């Protein structure tokens, strides 16, 4: 009887102290979970990661502490290694763009095809389609992570130090930095540009020195990184690609958390993604005026000019649609087409 009384008092002690009993049942939880982001919270992308980590920490009363490591520092700045590093247990949490993981899981690049999304209405229709996203999320699970929510990296624009880029031929001979995606490289080379694959950490000094002439990124990144100080005088707002920002947890980590905490983490990611998208959209509305205010020449293509870009990238689009996931991309195209008729 004495032994039974001692056991019962030990079980009741946490409640008497006002400590949730669940905390004692989770001795396997780590003191810290490492989250990789390519950029810091000064950028909308990094801000999304910061919001997510803070929400999880607050809502779990510190049981789950997600620490952000910006600059892809967990993989020495090589953002194309993030997914493989997650599989190796180096990274626990991803807040990143699947285009960066093309070499590890090409099928996750569904959202990156050139001119797939003509505007935010189309992008919202696809990411808001539950059947489509369920199928996409299953691809993420197959790649080794539990998908939670999607934010928006933003429409990618091109800047350069040489001349205005108004038509495809204007890219001829331009040395342009692209992320580690063979598709992005092929898009550029098909129009006569010379693509150079490098991390964002390496891109900035390369632009400053003139080793490369151009780069392509959302104008929000152009502003936050002060790219105009790196000799970039001309911008074309062509909206050629808009990847998602994927919030995901390494599968073994996800499975180590109880159902209640999984629910909290998922809801936190959804809330963080909504805030992050709102920030990206606000910056998108302001970017031409703000970039022009820096003395940079900004060209916004006419519908006819955009049509020329779409024609120029058609062959690359078809090739990579087949290589990435023709079936799922076809479904995205159908959803986009319906937004044109609405």
pLDDT in tens, 171-220: 999 999 998 789 999 999 999 999 999 988 899 999 999 999 999 999 99
The tens digit of pLDDT for each residue in 10-39 reads 444 443 333 333 333 445 899 999 999 999
Range(s) of the domain holding residue 174: 157-241+286-341
Q: Would the pLDDT of 294 be above 60?
A: yes
Domains identified in the chain, total number: 2
Q: Which residues pair with 147 in a beta bridge?
A: 248
| Co-location of 42 and 86 in the same domain | yes
* Residue 311, φ and ψ in degrees, nearest 5: -65, -40
Among 9-18, 90-99, 159-168, the minimum mean pLDDT is found in: 9-18
pLDDT mean across residues, the chain: 92
Residue 27 is predicted with a pLDDT of: 52
The tens digit of pLDDT for each residue in 32-48 reads 999 999 999 999 999 99
Query: Percent of the chain beyond pLDDT 70?
Result: 92
For 287: left if phi > 0, alpha if psi spans -120 to 50, otherwise beta; the answer is alpha
Domain membership of residue 16 (yes or no) is no
| Co-location of 147 and 256 in the same domain | yes
Residue 241 is predicted with a pLDDT of: 97
Domain membership of residue 317 (yes or no) is yes
**What global pTM score does this model have?**
0.89
Domain membership of residue 1 (yes or no) is no
Residue 11 is predicted with a pLDDT of: 41
Q: Would the pLDDT of 1 be above 80?
A: no
Rounded-to-integer distance, Cα 111 and Cα 67, Å: 27
| Co-location of 166 and 94 in the same domain | no
Residue 341 is predicted with a pLDDT of: 85
Provide DSSP, 46-109: HHHHHHHHHHHHHHTTTSS-EEEE-TTGGGTT-GGGHHHHHHTTS-SEEEE-GGGGTTT-GGGG
Residue 17 is predicted with a pLDDT of: 37
Q: Would the pLDDT of 318 be above 70?
A: yes
Mean pLDDT of 132-144: 98
Question: At 225, is the pLDDT very low, low, confident or very high (cuts 50, 70, 90)?
Answer: very high
Looking up residue 189, the CATH number of its domain turns out to be 3.40.190.170
């Amino acid at each position: 009887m004495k032994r039974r009384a001692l056991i019962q008092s030990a079980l009741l002690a946490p409640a008497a102290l006002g400590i949730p009993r669940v905390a004692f049942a989770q001795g396997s939880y780590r003191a810290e979970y490492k989250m990789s982001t390519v950029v810091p919270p000064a950028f909308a992308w990094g801000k999304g990661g910061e919001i997510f980590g803070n929400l999880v920490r607050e809502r779990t009363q510190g049981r789950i502490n997600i620490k952000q490591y910006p600059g892809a520092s967990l993989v020495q700045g090589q953002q194309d290694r993030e997914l493989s590093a997650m599989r190796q247990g180096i990274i626990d949490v991803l807040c990143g763009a699947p285009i960066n993981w093309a070499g590890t899981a090409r099928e996750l690049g569904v959202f990156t095809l050139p001119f797939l999304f003509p505007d935010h209405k189309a992008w919202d229709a696809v990411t808001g389609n539950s059947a489509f996203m369920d199928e996409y999320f299953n691809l993420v699970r197959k790649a080794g992570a539990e998908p939670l929510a999607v934010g928006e990296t933003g429409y990618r624009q091109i800047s350069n130090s040489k001349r205005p880029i108004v038509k495809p031929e204007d890219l001829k001979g331009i040395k342009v930095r692209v992320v580690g995606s063979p598709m992005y490289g092929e898009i550029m080379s098909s129009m006569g540009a010379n693509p150079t694959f490098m991390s964002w950490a390496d891109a900035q000094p390369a632009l400053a020195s003139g080793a490369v002439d151009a780069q392509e990124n959302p104008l929000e990144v152009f502003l936050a990184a002060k790219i105009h100080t790196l000799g970039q005088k001309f911008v074309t707002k062509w909206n050629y690609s808009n990847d998602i920002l994927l919030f995901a947890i390494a599968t073994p980590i996800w499975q180590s958390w109880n159902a209640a905490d999984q629910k909290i983490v998922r809801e936190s990611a959804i809330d963080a993604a909504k805030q992050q998208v709102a920030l990206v959209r606000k910056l998108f509305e302001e970017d031409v005026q703000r970039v022009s205010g820096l003395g940079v020449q900004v060209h916004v293509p006419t519908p006819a000019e955009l049509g020329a870009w779409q024609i120029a990238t058609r062959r690359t689009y078809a090739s990579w649609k087949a290589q990435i996931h023709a079936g799922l991309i076809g479904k995205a195209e159908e959803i986009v087409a319906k937004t044109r008729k609405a």
